Chains A and B, each alone.
Chain A
Amino acid sequence: MQDMEQWMHKIEQWMHNIEQWVRQQPVEQFYAALAVLIVTFAFFAVLRLLKPAKSNTIVLAGLSGSGKTVLFYQLRDGSSQQGTITSMEPNEGTFMLHSEMEKKGKLKPINLVDVPGHSRLRPKLDEFLPHAAGLIFVVDALDFLPNCRAAAEYLYDILTKASIVKRKVPILILCNKTDKVTAHSKEFIRKQLEKEIDKLRTSRNALSTADIANEHTLGVPGEPFAFSQCRNKVTITDASGLTGEVSQVEQFIREQVKP
């Protein structure tokens, strides 16, 4: 007990000494110190606010064989080189779009990512989605019907991911390979996809309380699903990666990545 009292006494003495010392300092110094502290905090706060600058990443996703890699090289170089093959790894590049090389003016370079479509490599998409400013979902308009279900499932998975819904990432559904005669029209593809997703909605929502893979529900319950019901903007257009008719794609990209 005596030790405790001694300690207490000592602490009181120290406090007293500190107080005296503090009182002795000129007041201006305090104000200066305080000012410096406040400025530093303000600086960091401003930095924090400014940090979520709009990223310039556009993600290309879609089933295997839909033409993502061709599109990637088309946007980068203006030609699809000697052909492509099933990708095993993502293609990533930061560049100016080929058609904009001639344009004057300061345009922000785009970080384009082509994620492989093979189902075993799906988890790679999750690495790039949190930074995406826009997503282009490439659909093979030529060979559409056999793959309709798989494409719809992939699209459904993307539309219900948290990183897409929360950040309202705009999605462009691109019907590729329209240079071929037997390619389907974008209206047809849109209707088919909406129908399939509607069916998926009922079968996936049946999974009671905990939604296992999907974190959000789509659309309005009771009404058939339509892309206009999504909280993020979903548009549909067509293009041809091989021949280079990608003007609408470039327009979409430019809208998302503003200089």
Chain B
Amino acid sequence: MLEQLLIFTRGGLILWTYRELGNALKGSPVDALIRSCLLEERSAETSFSYEAPAGGGSYTLKWAFHNDLGLVFVAVYQRILHLLYVDDLLAAVRREFSQIYDPKRTAYDEFDEIFRQLQKEAEARAEEMRKSKQFNRAPPVAGKKQRPGQRAGSQGNGKQKGGKVGSGKDDADGESGKGRGLSNGSSNGQENGIKEPSRAPSVLVKGKENGAPEVGAFDVNKLQKLRPKGGKKTDAGGGGGKASKAEQKKMVKKNRVWDDSPPESRLDFTDPADEKGDSIVDVVATDQGESMMDKEEIVSSESESEEDEGVESAKPGTKKKGWFSSMFQSIAGNAVLEKSDLTPALKALKDRLMTKNVAEEIAEKLCESVAASLEGKKLGSFTRVSSTVQTAMEEALLRILTPKRSIDILRDVHAAKEQGKPYVVVFVGVNGVGKSTNLAKVAYWLLQHNISVMMAACDTFRSGAVEQLRTHARRLQIPIFEKGYEKDPAIVAREAIQDASRHSSDVVLVDTAGRMQDNEPLMRALSKLINLNNPDLVLFVGEALVGNDAVDQLSKFNQKLADLSTVPNARLIDGILLTKFDTIDDKVGAALSMVYISGAPVMFVGCGQSYTDLKKLNVKSIVKTLLK
């Protein structure tokens, strides 16, 4: 049974709640939904599951938007139940409520009656579907294999929520097949919403034994028909993007000079008498200039109109309706955004994001989320679809990249200092991303703020790792805790922290060995290190050159840390350090992929190979670069 159904505005006011059941919900599932799903640009997902803390119930939540009026409809029910009628019900509620909605009113008591009726109808329909499903167990198995192939094509269609019978027919053929294959509504719940208008055609399909494969073939053809349309857009989008990039290249390739220190002569750090590493060493200390963390970035405030012109030239007219009527509508401002209007603009945006090295999966999810938030909205006057989509995407990107918690490390260090414990930072990542180098940069920056740092060499595997850190420590004149090679990193880390508190160091930077995310024993060792020492900050070091693998790396790291944790609140990745940022010109998409998949903010950006090359992420400039 439905636990609660809530209707609220995007500004936060609750307009109506389902009052039948007296028991209150445990925890605050709707708040959690907003914070971890809708504001994280995951609004295109089908459902959200919530565990109330301290052993409360576990719920599944589904939602629907009415973008034009700015309303959100959320249904909450127990996770163990698999209610099939929820999507259907949400669509019906949305339809009915938008007819009685008035921005000035805040109480809608008469809706109780209407809702009860809708609920009965929805339950009745679900019962019927269930009964008809039971007659039709055999064909779906054959049809199921073809499903993954058309998922991309029909997923767009599947998003059309209830009531659109005309276009619903095509979708229904694909979707009802899927619906039959999967029993509960928790993963592909969208299809259930189409069940109502699709009842008629599905009866037809049901009759044939081989109905499903033919339906599959039909949809594949439809997909191929869609493809060339999309292809045209990609070429145009790609051409436009390439032209602007080529211009950029001519301007950007000049000598890399950051600050006005005398670097050239000091680039060669090899000491003549340094065979054993004990003799005279150049002490670098703080005379290499200011770390770029403390320098203000001068963001060029070019006008937005440049971007718009680029965008428009890259997208040669979306000819859905006649040119004249669309012009007229954009002036009069009455056009309602449909999925079909949004698809070409979104496809172009997605391709543009992918040329900027955003992982394909992330770009796809983002575009769906933006589509979900724009569907049904009225176009303002004198605006085109492409500019609306562009603005929405820009806002979404800004929202994702803005950190959701404070990234002020200095403040955290001071807080830990007051409590008398050292602040422990662990650097994790795959092989070769730059952990040891950036560890030294972070140490340099902290030293400049008069914080005493200690390094812990817990990379006991790679040859030369300990010596590398030892050299950095000597140059920066900070203590290093090392135990040589072939020791257990978790134990070394623990002893390092104890040593740090003895010598009253404020910060301990722990270097770990690089490891692939699929390597089970190594991930277990890492998890042991983190569980044993409970660091204050787990920093994932990722390189900006990584492409689609970023998604895999981060999600597997997080998953392993969560699975192998010994405490209920597992320590996950708290922050990201993005390295090798100077090697990518404007393909900054890796930052977006990593932040989206993990939810952790980017705390540092490594942009070179000397001590001063560490800076903060400038969110606005990244968003601008991504959408250029």
Contacts and interface: CB of A to CB of B under 8 A. Distances in A.
**How many B residues touch the partner, as a band?**
35 or more
B40 to A, nearest CB: 8
A68 to B, nearest CB: 9
Nearest to B19: A82
A212 B294 contact: yes
Interface string A105-122: 000000000101011111
B39 interface: yes
A23 B157 CA distance: 79
Nearest to A208: B294
The residue among A82, A119, A199 with the most chain B CB atoms within 10 A of its own CB is A82
Interface string B398-423: 11101111101011001100000000
Which 5 residue pairs are nearest across A and B when measured between Cβ atoms?
A87-B12, A210-B296, A91-B11, A69-B12, A89-B10
A85 B7 CA distance: 10
A250 interface: no
B564 interface: no
A179 interface: no
B473 to A, nearest CB: 23
Interface stretch (B29-37, B217-225, B303-311): B29-37
Interface string B48-67: 00000000000000000000
Contacts of B403: 119
A120 B12 contact: no
**How many A residues touch the partner, as a band?**
35 or more
Contacts of B35: 64, 86, 118
Nearest to A116: B12
A78 to B, nearest CB: 11
A87 B402 contact: no
A210 B12 contact: no
B616 A212 contact: yes
Interface string B432-452: 000000000000000011100
Contacts of A73: 13, 106
Nearest to B400: A120
Interface of A: 64, 69, 73, 77, 81-91, 114, 116, 118-123, 149-150, 153, 199-200, 202-204, 206-212
B485 interface: no
Contacts of A123: 398, 402
Contacts of A88: 10-12, 34, 38-39, 72
A203 B294 contact: no
The residue among B10, B11, B70, B295 with the most chain A CB atoms within 10 A of its own CB is B11
A79 to B, nearest CB: 9
Contacts of A119: 402-405
The residue among B6, B13, B40 with the most chain A CB atoms within 10 A of its own CB is B13
A123 B398 CA distance: 9
Contacts of A82: 14-17, 106-107
B341 interface: no
Given A84-B13, A206-B449, 20 more contacts: A69-B13, A73-B13, A84-B14, A86-B34, A88-B10, A91-B13, A114-B11, A114-B12, A116-B12, A118-B35, A120-B400, A121-B39, A121-B399, A123-B402, A199-B414, A200-B411, A203-B408, A204-B408, A208-B290, A212-B616
